[in-house]
Amino acid sequence: MFYQTIDILGTVAFAISGVLVAMEKRLDLFGVLIIAFVTAIGGGTLRDLLIGNTPVVWMRDLTYVSTIFITVVLGIVFVNQLRYVRKSLFLFDTIGIGLYTMVGIEKGLLAELSPIMCVTLGTITASFGGVIRDILCNEIPVIFRKEIYATACILGGASYFLFTQLPIEESYAYLAAIFIVITIRLLAVRFGIRLPNIYKKEG
């Protein structure tokens, strides 16, 4: 129940970020729904396909589809209120990657994969819904820019396996890793911390 709750919260966070992007692009209602949907389930779908967990989870459990639909409706109704939240898209996207990183890691553990592969699955789950969203909206995906994004997922995911070596409950290690992903992303944006630019300035 604990892990499913985290999964649903991540679905809500990413669906809202999809709604905000779609409405900024002035898409119609169907477009908003599609963007919210692919943002929320894109990474998880790729993850499930990679580990052979088919049909993918949202096809077997309509809770996810219902959650996305309800979130889209509420997001459209309260979009003006959401816009009052400073940098609301960034906020929901950051919360989403924190939650989904650990959802992906949990799926990897259930598939009995190594910690490295689990962290990879967590990063894919957290990042690729946003990649699909940005591509469909004609934007360069955040993960391919200099911003700390996938790196936060990797570091937070790795921290989970370190925490599990400590004498603490697994749920606390789980929550601590989510907190680390979100904190790294927030601090990176707040202080302008970016990955090195491999391109030299012209002139």
Helix or strand holding residue 67 (H, E): helix 63-77
Which pLDDT value is given to residue 86? 47
What tokens were used for 50? 């990679």
Beta partners for residue 147, in sequence order: 194
Which pLDDT value is given to residue 121? 97
Q: Half-sphere exposure (CA, 13 Å, Cβ side) for 12?
A: 11
The Cα 129–Cα 109 span in angstroms is 21
Which pLDDT value is given to residue 3? 79
* Of the candidates 175, 182, 174, the residue with the CA atom closest to the CA atom of residue 152: 182
Please calculate the CA angle 143-144-145 and round it to the nearest 5 degrees. Answer: 95
Which pLDDT value is given to residue 198? 67
Which pLDDT value is given to residue 85? 58
Helix (H, G, I), strand (E, B) or coil at 38: helix
What tokens were used for 7? 């999964």
Mean pLDDT by 10 residues, the chain (203 residues): 85 92 92 96 96 94 96 88 67 91 96 97 95 93 81 96 94 95 93 75 55
The Cα 176–Cα 166 span in angstroms is 12
The Cα 129–Cα 18 span in angstroms is 9
What tokens were used for 107? 């799926």
Peptide bond into 55 cis (omega under 30): yes
